[in-house]
Amino acid sequence: AGKLTVEQPLFGGKIVYGGEGSYTDNRQQFEMLNEEVAQDLPSNHDKNEQQLWAAFLSYEHSWNYFSLNAGLRYEHINFKYYYDDQYREEQSRIYNNCFPSVALSYRKGSINMSLSDKTTVRRPNYFNLRSAISYNSPYNYEGGNPSLKPMYINKLTYLAGWKDLQLEVSYNWIKDNL
């Protein structure tokens, strides 16, 4: 994994931009040695590979009692899923997403306010994507789901404060909740 960030002054504010990338390779192996139980809980091998490339850009500017922060993040993810060493196209995915964010703030004396909107993503972890079924007890089996999709969250937030009193109101829009 690696990340590069550059910060420069621009039009009385500052611009921050850069990129990042990562590669992960996760292998999970489940071997059932008890042949009687293996009928219900077969042995399997999962493999997940992911390449992530991202570019981001944000701009911050303050004037008088106001400040503005606006940004955009672009992500390209190539996720490959293998079950028993066989590539599974249905569970493998390519994502190309843009995640905008904007915040406008006001601060004067004891009063401060902020209105922001931000889009983020939460992806299932490899443990949740596994296809193996674990035997926890005679009455409890546990498994993952390699078909899970990422959860997208758009959060609109208003903050208001006076001295030590703070008020926050937010609205969350969630798609494909994990």
pLDDT tens digits along 114-154: 999 999 999 988 878 877 777 777 778 787 888 888 999 99
DSSP string, the chain: -EEEEEEEEETTEEEEEEEEEEEEEEEEEE----HHHHTTS--EEEEEEEEEEEEEEEEEEEETTEEEEEEEEEEEEEEEEEETTEE-TTT-EEEEEEEEEEEEEEEETTEEEEEEEEEEEEPPPHHHH---EEEEETTEEEE--TT--PEEEEEEEEEEEETTEEEEEEEEEEES--
pLDDT tens digits along 63-109: 999 999 999 999 999 999 998 888 988 889 999 999 999 999 999 99
Q: Please state whether the predicted TM-score (pTM) of the whole model is above 0.85.
A: no
